[in-house]
Structure 1
Amino acid sequence: MSYVVGYGIKYPLHVHHRGASIPHNGIKYSCTGGWKWRDTPKANPNTIVGALVAGPDENDGFKDNRRMMNYTEPRLAGNAGLVGALVALSGDGSIRINKSSMFSFVPAAKFPPPPPPPTPWIH
Structure 2
Amino acid sequence: MSTLPLGCLPAARIALGGLCTEIVNQAAMLFNSKLESDINNLKGSLPGAKLVFVDVYNPLLQLIQNPHESGFDVATRGCCGSGVAEICSRLTLVTCSDPSNYVFWDSAHPSEKAYRTIVPEVLQKYQSGF
TM range (shorter): under 0.3
More strand by share: 2
- Higher helix share goes to which structure? 2
